[in-house]
Amino acid sequence: MRSRLELHDLFIDILGTRNEEVSRVYFQPPASLMMNYPCIVYGRSSGDTKYANDIKYHRMKQYQVTVIDADPDSVIPDKIENFPLCKFSTHFTKDNLNHDVYMLYY
């Protein structure tokens, strides 16, 4: 099973913010956190476990990934959607920010 920190680093690479002082990738942020945009917010959702002969042989964690950007034509959602085992869930706008939500197994 791959690590959440590896996924976090991939998100940082997508945003191109590795050398910035303030992160734009947030894992399960508290409601009081002031975020910088564009950003990627993600958290654990559920998982998928495969069984054979009553023995667990494969398990993947699922994350809900939300891309938040003021630009409605942002390329960031396309980069997230290119992940294997990623599925678009919904889009909504709040406070003039576009939110694209994905379900990602990693």
Domains and CATH numbers, the chain: 4-105 (3.30.2000.30)
CA distance 45 to 76: 21
HEC-encoded secondary structure of 42-61? EEEEEEEEEEECCEEEEEEE
Has residue 20 got a pLDDT over 80?
no
The pLDDT, as a whole number, for residue 22 is: 74
Can you tell me the mean pLDDT for 18-36?
A: 88
Question: Are the beta carbons of 24 and 39 closer than 8 angstroms?
Answer: yes
Residue 32 vs residue 52, higher pLDDT: 32
pLDDT band at 1 (very low <50, low <70, confident <90, very high): low
CA distance 33 to 15: 19
Q: Per residue in 38-75, pLDDT tens?
A: 999 999 998 777 778 888 777 789 999 999 999 999 99
